[in-house]
Amino acid sequence: MFNAIVVEKNEDGKTSASVQQISEDQLPPAEVTVAVEYSTVNYKDGLCIGPGGGLVRQYPHVPGIDFAGTVEASDDERYKPGDKVVLTGWRVGEVHWGGYAQKARVKADWLVPLPDGLDTRQAMAVGTAGFTAMLAVMALEDHGIKDGPVLVTGAAGGVGSVATAILSNLGHEVAAVTGRPETSDYLKDLGATQIVAREEINETTKRPLEAETWGGCVDAVGGDMLARVLGQMQYGASVAAVGLAGGAGLPATVIPFLLRGVNLLGIDSVMQPYENRLRAWERIAKDLPMNKLEAMIQPAVLADLPELGRGILKGQVKGRVVVDVNA
């Protein structure tokens, strides 16, 4: 028996999450059993710890959309006991039981060997949010980052913190947008050269085009924020759209695309093929300074997760929560 966060649907239709003991034979069938060491808290985890938000199909459910650990048993020749592995995506923690447990059983195709230079704790300090931040930076690079500041929205959150640290380490000026002024010193320590108040973007003129300002953008917020930012991009610059923490709507016009050649790049971390995942993890090990990653970490244990899940949905989590599932 081992510990896991189990989300159950009660008779009144509401869900509740608690630490419970479960057994290995309850795990879903798949090729590789992993002794999980660390997991983390992403926005989607907040949804899955709660009522599911349309992501969870069946209860009882073990959430946790990412984890890192050591292979315990494997029916697939690519992995053997003792191998260190990391998992993000593939709807693990949503439709398949995930990483909020001391053991997980998953398909070999969904795993990536831990890259040199990262341990399992660091890999989860990065987690899905940081992996996605790297994918966003790579997408901007593929389309060319212009001179001048690169904007990061939702900067004090998980995606934003990692994007800020990576872009700054790559030598870009980073303008970090936050609704929490108290995080300014934290963001400057991650490498932000400019702190932009959330209202400064949200309360601009709402004209379809404004001054050409940003050389690129990683946007974790969507909604009004993304609509405003599109009109502030330099000619031919790109926005990597990652998330919808500020809303799923997009009250924008086509003008920035037509008159400024702005590129809107959609980033999906969930269904990334193996080669892309490997390439992104290798770039993370190379381009994300580990001292900055340490500064983002908030340690947690399984029992903290119900509260942290509610917190991340309210935009209250700073940086990256790293869950030691064995503590």
Which residues make up the interface to ligand NDP (CB under 6 A)?
A: 42-44, 128-129, 132, 154-160, 178-180, 198, 220-221, 225, 242-246, 267-270, 312, 315, 317
Q: How many CB atoms lie within 10 A of CB 202?
A: 18
- Tokens standing for residue 114: 């831990």
Q: Is 43 exposed, middle or buried (0-12, 13-18, 19+ CB in 10 A)?
A: buried
Q: How many CB atoms lie within 10 A of CB 97?
A: 26
Give min distance, CB of 301 to ligand NDP, in A: 19
- Tokens standing for residue 273: 């093929």
Closest listed residue to residue 65, CA positions, set 326, 323, 327 = 323
Closest CB to ligand NDP among residues 149, 157? 157
Query: Is there a contact between 46 and 305 (Cβ–Cβ < 8 Å)?
Result: no
Distance separating alpha carbons of residues 273 and 51, to the nearest angstrom: 29
Give min distance, CB of 132 to ligand NDP, in A: 4
Give min distance, CB of 238 to ligand NDP, in A: 15
Residues in CB range of 326: below 8 A, 6 or more apart: 37, 102
Closest CB to ligand NDP among residues 33, 272? 272
Residue 132 is inside which H or E element, if any?
A: helix 120-143
Give min distance, CB of 168 to ligand NDP, in A: 16
Closest CB to ligand NDP among residues 62, 321? 321
Give min distance, CB of 138 to ligand NDP, in A: 13
Query: Is there a contact between 31 and 74 (Cβ–Cβ < 8 Å)?
Result: yes
Closest CB to ligand NDP among residues 243, 256? 243
Residue closest to ligand NDP, measured at CB: 157
Give min distance, CB of 268 to ligand NDP, in A: 5
Amino acid residing at 150? V
Closest CB to ligand NDP among residues 114, 196? 196
Closest CB to ligand NDP among residues 164, 234? 164
